Chain A
C-alpha cells in the first residue's frame, strides 16, 4: 500500500497543479482592454500614456517609420511610444499576444484577410473615432479594405503599387526592344529578348506571392473588376472559366526557356534574387514583374541606378483592358483602446505622417491629400500617384483571402509553374481549399 501511496501523491500533485492552472487559463482570447470611451481630445497636450507598436518594418524602413513616430512625439510629448520591429516573426508575436491576453497596443498587418481573422476573434478595436479623418484622406476603396460589418479597423498607411514591371535597360537596348504597352507586345518583346541571348523573365517562384501578384494583374485585366471582386469573396468558384483563361495567359510566360534558370531553378529562386539577377552583368534575365518596392530593392541591393540601368513600365493591358492598378498596403490596427492609441491612429491617417516617410523614398502613400511633390524622384512619384489616384484599384486578392487559401494559392501556383499545362488540376485544387475556407 505504501508504495502506491507515494505514486498517488505525486500524480495528484502534478495533476492538480495542471488542472488548476488550466482552469485559470481557460480558453479566452479577447484583448485585455484599458478602454475609455473618451474620444481623442483636441487638447493634444492632455493625451498621455504609453503605447507599444509592433511592426514589420526593420532596417532602413524601420528608421523611416521611426521618423514618422518622431513626428507623433512632437505633437504628443506626453505619450511614450515604443516601436517593436519584428520582421518575419510578427505573426508569432501577435498570435501569442492575443491568445495570451497581452497583445501590443497597435500593430501593422499587411493582409486584410488576417485582419478579418483577428476581428472575428474579437481581438481588434474599431476605429470609428477616425471616420472623418479617413474619409477626408483616403478613397473609399482603401477604407473599405479594413471595414468589416460596417466597422473600420485600420488605417492603410503604406501602400504598394503592384502593377509595375521593372527591366534591365541595357538588355532592352541590345535587343532593340521598347517597353511594351500591351500584353502581346510584352510576349513579343520576350521572344526578341530571347533571340538576342537574354532570358526574358525573372520569376521568384520560391516566394509564392510573386506568382499571386502576377495572377492578379492578369486576371484583373482579362476578367475585369467585377469578376475580380466576385472571385475575392468566393461568389464565383476558382474553377470559373475566367480563372482558367487568366492561367492560360500566364502559361505563356512560364515556358521553361522563357524563365531565368529554367522552371526548376525559378522554383528555388526567392524574390530578392529574382530582382538582383536582372541587374547583374551579364543579367540572368531582362524583366521582373513586381511592385514598386522593387525600386528600393534595386537601390539597396544592387549597383544598378534607376533611370539609367533599371527602369519601369506599367503592367501592360490585355485585350484592350482599361488602366487598372493592383495594389497592396500595410495597415495599422488597434488591439487595445486608449486615448494615446487613438491619437496615434488619427495621426497616421494624416498627410503629415505620410510625408515624413514619403520624402525619404521607398514609400507610396495611399493618402490622396498628400502633396506629391514631396516624393524624392519622378519614378517614385509616378508610381505612387498611379496608386493613390487610381480610378480602378483593386487590392491584392491573395491578401484578402483567409490565410489557408492564401497559402494554397502559393503552393498551387508554384505547381502550375512546374506544369503550365495543368490548368484544370490547379483550379480544382484551389477550389477545394476555397470551399473549406468559405463555408
Chain B
C-alpha cells in the first residue's frame, strides 16, 4: 500500500550578497517584533520567578524588581520549605502516573472516535458530533459531586484509576473535536486508496490516520499533560492519601498571609515538567508530514 511521495524541493538558490542582505533586512521587522513580544510575554513569569526567590517580608515590602537593585536578597529558602513535607515525593509519583494514564487513554479514545466522526458513515453522525462538542460546556465542578458519590460506592475513591478515568473523560469533548477536524483534513484519496487496497478500517486507522494526525495528537497530549499535572480541584475532592501534587502543595496555604512564598515556588516547580515536555516534543507539532512518504 504505497502512497507516492511529494517531491522534495531543495532550496538551493544562487543569491547575490545584496539580495541576501535585503532578505535578512526584510525579515528584521519580524525578528524585532517577535523579540519584543516574546520578552513582554515573559515578564509576568519572570516576575513570578523573582518573587519566588524573595523572603515573604522582602516580597511584601517592594516589587520584585528590587532583585536587580539588590541581588543579595535572592534566596532559595522558599523552595526548600515546600519540600519540607515528605509527602511531596509520593505525590510526584502519583501525579506522574495519573498524568501518563490520563494522557494516553483519552488520546486513544478520542482518536478512535474522531476517525469515526470524520470518515465513517452512520446515521445522525453530525448531530451526534455536535452533541459531543456541546459537552464541552459541562463544568468540571458540577461533575464532582455525582462522581464523588459514585466513586465511594464503587471503591474508586482515592485511587489512581479513578483520577485517570475522570480526567480522561473530560478530555474527550475537546479531544474528539480537535482530532475529528484534523482528520477530516486528510486527503480523501489516501483513504480511498487504502480502502481499495482492501484494508480494514482498523488498519487504515492505525497505518494512515494516526501517523498523519501526529501534530494534533501531540498538541492534545501536551495540553492534557498540562491540565492534569496542574489540576487542583479534582485531586482535592477525589483523592485523599494518594493526592497529586497540586492539592498537596496548595493545601499548605495558610488562612491569612499572601502565601506568595508557597505559591510562587510551587507554581514554578509544577511548571517545569510540562514545559520540558513541551520543549522536547515541539518538533512533532511542526513536522511537515505530507512532505514525507507514508507506507
Contacts and interface: CB of A to CB of B under 8 A. Distances in A.
Interface of A: 3-4, 6-7, 10, 21, 24-25, 52, 56-62, 84-89, 92-93, 96-97, 99-102, 270-273, 276-277, 280, 293, 297, 300-303
A102 B122 contact: no
A87 B124 contact: no
B250 A89 contact: yes
Contacts of B16: none
B149 A58 contact: no
B144 interface: yes
B252 interface: yes
Contact of B60 (A21, A56, A58, A272): A272
B254 A59 contact: yes
Nearest to B233: A92
Given A270-B258, A272-B258, A102 B148 contact: yes
Top 8 nearest A-B pairs (CB, nearest first) are A3-B123, A100-B148, A276-B60, A87-B253, A272-B258, A100-B149, A7-B124, A59-B254
B257 A272 contact: yes
A239 to B, nearest CB: 33
Contacts, number: 102
B57 interface: yes
B255 interface: yes
Given A96-B145, A100-B149, A102-B157, A7 B123 contact: yes
B148 A297 contact: no
Given A87-B250, A102-B149, A276-B60, 7 more contacts: A59-B262, A61-B255, A62-B252, A87-B254, A96-B145, A276-B61, A301-B257
A85 B252 contact: yes
Contacts of A100: 145, 148-149, 152
Contacts of B257: 59, 272, 297, 300-301
8 contacts: A6-B124, A7-B128, A58-B253, A89-B232, A93-B237, A96-B145, A102-B152, A276-B61
A4 B123 contact: yes
Nearest to B232: A89
B150 interface: yes
B240 interface: yes
A375 B258 CA distance: 26
B254 A58 contact: yes
Contacts of A87: 250-255
A142 B149 CA distance: 35
A97 B238 CA distance: 10
Contacts of A92: 233, 236-237
Interface in B245-265: 247, 250-258, 262
B88 to A, nearest CB: 14
Contacts of B258: 270, 272-273, 301
Contacts of A273: 60, 258
Contacts of B144: 96
Main secondary structure of the interface of A (DSSP, over half): helix
Contacts of A276: 57, 60-61
Contact of B57 (A24, A52, A57, A303): A303
A189 to B, nearest CB: 25
B204 to A, nearest CB: 21
A300 B150 CA distance: 43
B145 A85 contact: no
B71 interface: no
B57 A301 contact: yes
B149 A101 contact: yes
B256 A297 contact: yes
A273 B253 CA distance: 16
A62 B128 CA distance: 50
Contacts of B57: 276, 301-303
B236 A6 contact: no
Nearest to B260: A272
Contact of B122 (A6, A24, A300): A6
Contacts of A4: 123
B146 interface: yes
Interface in B197-245: 232-233, 236-237, 240
A93 B243 CA distance: 14
Nearest to A102: B152
Contacts of B61: 276, 280
B251 A58 contact: yes
A96 B150 CA distance: 12
Interface string B129-153: 0000000000000001110111011
Contacts of A102: 148-149, 152, 157
A21 B57 CA distance: 52
A87 to B, nearest CB: 4
Contacts of B153: 24
Contacts of B252: 58-59, 62, 85, 87
Nearest to B123: A3
B146 A25 contact: yes
Nearest to B122: A6
Contact of B56 (A97, A277, A300): A300
